[in-house]
Structures are given as structure tokens and as C-alpha cells.
Amino acid sequence: MKLKFFLCSGLVTLSGMISAPASAAPHWTHAEQDTWGAIEDDTQKQAPLMYPYAECGIGSHQSPVDLSGEANSEKLNMLEIRYVKDMPDFFNSGHAAQVNTSASYKGVLKIGSDIYPLTQFHFHAPSEHVIGSQTFPAELHFVHVRADGRIAVLGVLLKEGAANPAIQTILNNVPATTTPPGPVHNTDSGVTLNPKALLPKDKSHFYTYAGSLTTPPCSEGVSWYVLAEPVEVSEAQIALLEGFYTDNNRLPQNLNGRTVTGTIKRW
């Protein structure tokens, strides 16, 4: 998961982000995820500033995770997903196909009494969260960031099936990946999109746990909610998604004593 590119998977970049402005952040790729924590910022000369992604290596509440060991709970706050139409920025972040909401966007995620504005959503292929041995072809992350910096991410697992018109709209408008990969915006498409069209019918069953951004800087303190019902996308759409980036997923991290809870229904 990442935040808007200039916050960027965050609170400074969030793919697959929060960190420092993307222009100043050290380069990273998913292929080197085992050593993200050791990547150095050569503009800094002293620790810990010279290791801006250290939390990726030493954090104990990292994401994604295996969701299969969840404990059912009947006392969780329900999710109220209040997304509305928008004329967004279709964005290729250099790491993922992404959609940034407009500055005036009013869509929010409400959890209990807490309200989180939707700032962007992006894709990972294959999925980052797994359920035991089950990996999905792709995963969609809706990133919500409050003014106080608190982050909630809503995850949607994607499975092969019927074509999805809303996802096709995104695939048609996100700029192609450049060589080398870098951020490219499409702010003048004139296309209107309602993120609600990307959600499953059942939004009452979900997994939840305390985690992190799934891309550098891997900042912790992120509240994760992964909907239990997958959304269908066609084989051709999966291929188009992989055409932007292949294997832009972080592998599951240790729970380290955390518990995945939820109101779960198996699909």
C-alpha cells in the first residue's frame, strides 16, 4: 500500500505510503524488499537519518500478513464506506497503477466515530495479503489519511472472473510505465469515477489488524481492514494490470504476537 506519490504504499510516498517527498527519497524496488531497511540516503551522514527505510527491517508490526488465523469478533465497529464520484488523477507512481482523488473530494471511510478521507487507491499484483496458501491475482488498496496523520487502509482482494468496468476505466487511463519507471500523471482525462464501483457487494465481513505501509518507509500505526469477499476481474484485465508492474507485492510479514480479528465469512 502507498499514499499519494508526494506523500509516498505513504505518509510520504504510501503501493503498493508516508515518508519524505518522493523526489528526495532513495530509490527502491520490490525485487530488493529483503534489504529495504538497509538502503542508505547518501544525502545524510548520521544514523538514523541515513537509513530512512529502517522500519522495513526492524519494525515488529509490519504488513502485509497471512489472514488465515483470524479470530472472529462480534464487537468490532462496522465500516461505513461513503465514497462518491470524482474526476481523479490517474497516476503511474513508478511502483504501481494508482488513482489520486481530487483536492475537493468528499469520499470517506467511517469506522465508529472516526472519519478517514480517501486520498488514493492503487494496485498490487499478485496480492500482498494471503489466506493460508491462497494468493489472489491482485489486490486493491484504498488509502485514507486524516489531518492528524492517522492512516486506515481498506484492502480488496481481486480474483479471476467477469470483467470489471470500473477497473477497465482505470486501466485505460493510467499512463504507461516509463523506462526507467517514474511518476507520470493524467490529470486531464475528463473521466468521472466512483470508487464505490470497485467494492464487493458484501462489506460487512472483513479482517482487521494493526500494521504498516507495505512499501518504504514501511511506517507502522496503520489500521488495516481487508474485505472478505473478493471482487472479480477478467483474465485480460489481470494481464493489463501486470503490464504496468509484475510482482509489485511485498511478501507476508510475521505477526509477532498480533491478532487478526474480524467478522469473517468464507468466500
Separation CA 73–CA 65 (nearest Å): 19
Give the angle subtended at the CA of 17 by the CAs of 16 and 20, to the nearest 5°: 135
Q: How many angstroms separate the CA atoms of 115 and 109, rounded? A: 6
| Residue 129: active-site member | no
As a whole number of angstroms, the distance between CA 118 and CA 257 comes to: 30
- Taking the CA atoms of 168, 161, 94 and 49 in sequence, report the sign of the dihedral they define: positive
Tell me, what DSSP letter sits at residue 196? Answer: G
Catalytic-labelled residue, pool 30, 61, 95, 144 = 95
Residues 6+ positions from 93 with CB-CB distance below 8 Å? 2, 5, 8, 13, 15, 122, 183
Q: DSSP letter at 68?
A: T
Distance, in Å, from the CA atom of 20 to the CA atom of 51, rounded to the nearest integer, reads: 12
Residues of 181-196 as b/e, b for ≥16 C-beta within 10 angstroms? bebbeeeeeeeebebe
Q: Which residues are catalytic?
A: 95
